[in-house]
């Protein structure tokens, strides 16, 4: 069974809003024994970027994308996690 929940307790994005680059920090409770797949979507649901993550801290660069709202989505065991990213 998958549960949708706010990702804010599991992953932090800063600065948010940001003009270009977001630093993403994973909570220590997220299991990284297997790579974590992270997807970035625009408001129309179009996939913008995807990452395979195996570190607790990584960068997302939206410099080539227009200002606006983006969605970070990932899945950890039994949870679908979502986070809004605001590019200024």
Region 34-42: mean pLDDT is 92
| Domain ranges (residues) in the chain | 3-87
37 pLDDT band, cuts 50/70/90, is very high
Give residue 1's pLDDT.
33
Core vs surface per residue 21-53: b (16+ CB within 10 A) or e = ebebebeeebeeeeebebebbeeeeeeeeebeb
Mean pLDDT of the chain: 87
**Over 50: is that where the pLDDT of 4 sits?**
no
- CATH T-level topology, domain 3-87: Immunoglobulin-like (2.60.40)
Give residue 2's pLDDT.
40
**pTM recorded for the entire structure:** 0.85
């Amino acid at each position: 069974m998958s549960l949708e929940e706010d990702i804010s307790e599991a992953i932090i994005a800063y600065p948010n809003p940001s003009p270009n680059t977001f630093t993403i920090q994973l909570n220590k409770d997220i299991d990284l024994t297997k790579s974590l797949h992270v997807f970035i979507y625009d408001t129309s649901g179009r996939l913008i970027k995807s990452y395979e993550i195996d570190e607790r801290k990584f960068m997302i660069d939206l410099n080539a994308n227009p200002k606006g709202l983006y969605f970070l989505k990932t899945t950890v065991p039994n949870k679908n996690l979502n986070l809004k990213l605001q590019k200024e």
